A and B are shown apart, each in its own frame.
Chain A
Amino acid sequence: MSAGVGVNLENLWIRFGDFVAVRDANVNINGGDFFSFLGPSGCGKTTILRSVSGFLDPSEGRVLIGGNDMAGIGPNKRPTALIFQNLALFPLMKVWENITFSMEIKGASAKERRKRADELLDMIALPGQGDKLPSELSGGQKQRVAIARALCAEPDVLLLDEPLSALDLKLRQHMRTELREIQKRVGITFIYITHDQGEALTMSDNIAVMKAGIIDQIGDGKTVYNDPSTAFVASFVGENNVFRGKVKEIRGDEALIATNRSGDLVSRISTANQGKMNVGDEAMMFIRPEALSIAETGTSGDHFVTAKVNHEEFEGNSFNIFTEGDGGKEIKVSIPNLGQTFEDHTGQQITLEYETQNAVAVPAGELATE
Chain B
Amino acid sequence: MKNGFLKNFYQHNGKVMGTALLVIISFWIGVLIILPQLSMLDYSLREYLPSGEVGDYTLKNYRHLIYGAEGASDPYNYVDLKVFMRTIIAAICVTIFNLILCYPIAFFLGQVAKGMKLRVFALLLIIPYWINEILRAFALKIIFGATGMINAVLIGMGILDEPFDFIRADIALYAGLGYAYILLMVFPMYNVIESLDGNQIEAARDLGAPWWRIHARIVIPYAKPGISSGATMVFMLSAGALAAPQILGGPSSLWFTQIIYQWFNDGGNWSQGAAYAIVLLTSCIIIVLAFMKLFKVNMGDIGK
Query: Which residues of A does B touch, CB under 8 Å?
Result: 53-55, 74-77, 80-82, 84-86, 88, 90-93, 101-102, 104-106, 149-150, 153
Query: Are B199 and A76 interface neighbours, CB within 8 A?
Result: no
Interface residues of B in 201-245 (CB under 8 A from A): 202-210, 213, 217-218, 221-222
Query: Are B200 and A149 interface neighbours, CB within 8 A?
Result: no
Tally of A-B residue pairs with Cβ under 8 A? 58
- 12 other contacts beyond A105-B208, A105-B213, A153-B208, with CB at 8 A cut-off? A76-B209, A81-B206, A84-B202, A86-B197, A88-B200, A90-B203, A90-B218, A92-B221, A92-B222, A102-B207, A149-B207, A150-B207
Query: Are A81 and B207 interface neighbours, CB within 8 A?
Result: yes
Report B205 CB to chain A, min CB distance, Å: 5
Query: Are B210 and A84 interface neighbours, CB within 8 A?
Result: no
Residues on the B chain within 8 Å of A105, using CB = 207-210, 213
Known: A92-B222, A105-B213. A84 touches B199 (CB 8 A): yes
Query: Which residues of B does A touch, CB under 8 Å?
Result: 197, 199-200, 202-210, 213, 217-218, 221-222
**From B201, which residue of chain A is reached at the shortest CB distance?**
A88
Query: Are B206 and A75 interface neighbours, CB within 8 A?
Result: yes
Q: Is the interface of A mostly helix, strand, loop or mixed?
A: loop
User: Bound state CA distance, A53 and B222, in angstroms?
Assistant: 25
Residues on the B chain within 8 Å of A91, using CB = 222
Residues on the A chain within 8 Å of B206, using CB = 53-55, 75-76, 80-82
User: Bound state CA distance, A313 and B202, in angstroms?
Assistant: 47
Residues on the B chain within 8 Å of A85, using CB = 199
Residues on the B chain within 8 Å of A88, using CB = 197, 199-200, 202-203
3 A-B pairs closest in CB distance: A88-B199, A88-B203, A102-B207
Report B258 CB to chain A, min CB distance, Å: 43
- Residue pairs across A and B with Cβ atoms less than 8 A apart, 27 shown, are A55-B202, A75-B202, A75-B205, A75-B206, A76-B205, A76-B210, A80-B206, A81-B206, A81-B207, A82-B202, A84-B199, A84-B203, A88-B200, A88-B202, A88-B203, A90-B203, A90-B217, A91-B222, A92-B221, A92-B222, A93-B217, A102-B207, A104-B217, A105-B210, A106-B208, A149-B207, A153-B208
User: Bound state CA distance, A82 and B205, in angstroms?
Assistant: 10
Residues on the A chain within 8 Å of B217, using CB = 90, 93, 101, 104
Residues on the B chain within 8 Å of A76, using CB = 205-210
User: Bound state CA distance, A296 and B145, in angstroms?
Assistant: 103
Report A10 CB to chain B, min CB distance, Å: 23
Report B272 CB to chain A, min CB distance, Å: 48
User: Bound state CA distance, A150 and B213, in angstroms?
Assistant: 18
Query: Are A74 and B205 interface neighbours, CB within 8 A?
Result: yes
Residues on the A chain within 8 Å of B207, using CB = 76, 81, 101-102, 105, 149-150, 153
**From B210, which residue of chain A is reached at the shortest CB distance?**
A76
User: Bound state CA distance, A93 and B216, in angstroms?
Assistant: 13
Residues on the B chain within 8 Å of A53, using CB = 206
User: Bound state CA distance, A5 and B302, in angstroms?
Assistant: 48
User: Bound state CA distance, A101 and B202, in angstroms?
Assistant: 13
**From B221, which residue of chain A is reached at the shortest CB distance?**
A92
User: Bound state CA distance, A84 and B222, in angstroms?
Assistant: 19
Of the listed residues B203, B206, B213, the one surrounded by the most CB atoms of chain A closer than 10 A to its CB is B206
Residues on the A chain within 8 Å of B203, using CB = 82, 84, 88, 90
Report A336 CB to chain B, min CB distance, Å: 44
Report B204 CB to chain A, min CB distance, Å: 7
Residues on the B chain within 8 Å of A101, using CB = 204, 207, 209, 217
Among B208, B221, B222, point to the contact of A102 (Cβ < 8 A): B208
Residues on the A chain within 8 Å of B200, using CB = 88, 90
Report B301 CB to chain A, min CB distance, Å: 12
User: Bound state CA distance, A75 and B222, in angstroms?
Assistant: 22
Query: Are A86 and B199 interface neighbours, CB within 8 A?
Result: yes
Of the listed residues B202, B213, B222, the one surrounded by the most CB atoms of chain A closer than 10 A to its CB is B202
User: Bound state CA distance, A92 and B221, in angstroms?
Assistant: 8
User: Bound state CA distance, A91 and B196, in angstroms?
Assistant: 10
**From A101, which residue of chain B is reached at the shortest CB distance?**
B207
**From A97, which residue of chain B is reached at the shortest CB distance?**
B217
Report A117 CB to chain B, min CB distance, Å: 14
User: Bound state CA distance, A77 and B207, in angstroms?
Assistant: 9
**From A77, which residue of chain B is reached at the shortest CB distance?**
B208
